[in-house]
Amino acid sequence: MTTTVMSSEIEETVTSVNDELGLLRELLDDDVVIERPKKKSRKPAVGIDDMTADEFRSYKSRLQAERRAKIKAQEAAGSLPFDADTTRDALADAAIMLLFTGGPGATAVLNYLGQVFSDKPGAPFTIAARVKSRALKPKLIKFARKSS
């Protein structure tokens, strides 16, 4: 597609889109052009399929070390990773606090414990007694206090 446009500032005939872009580049100073930083790719430089067994082990070890360092940094900053383990711990803490206070929902927690430990009829009451005596304590309470 060819277009002919006359620029009032530059008296040249533009015959294609490339020429328009060229004219714009000439009008702009070189300092005005801002280059975006390139994002670091998480993809390996070498394909995983091309790695030897030792290279693959080394690669996986490095990724795991980076993951653990990231989690450690989050914990040091007072933040927890959002994963299955911390979610379970948070839900268990909520149940422990319900049993401790005897608030609304404590009966539902006791009923559920009765279903889980159906072959051990005294288990729910033993658990409740351990919570009341503070033998069972919430794990993540220190993180909950930081946020409030």
For the cut 90, the answer to whether the pLDDT of residue 142 exceeds it is no
CA angle 10, 12, 16 (to 5 degrees): 115
Element (H, E) at 95: helix 84-101
Write out the two tokens for 79: 């933040």
Output the pLDDT for position 140: 84
6-10, 75-79, 123-127: lowest mean pLDDT where?
Answer: 6-10
Cα 78 versus chain centre, distance: 15
Residue 60 has pLDDT above 90, yes or no: yes
The pLDDT of residue 30 is 58
Query: pLDDT for 89-138, tens place per residue?
Result: 999 999 999 999 998 899 999 999 999 999 998 999 999 999 999 999 99
Q: Is the pTM of this model over 0.75?
A: no
Confidence of residue 9 (pLDDT cuts 50, 70, 90): low
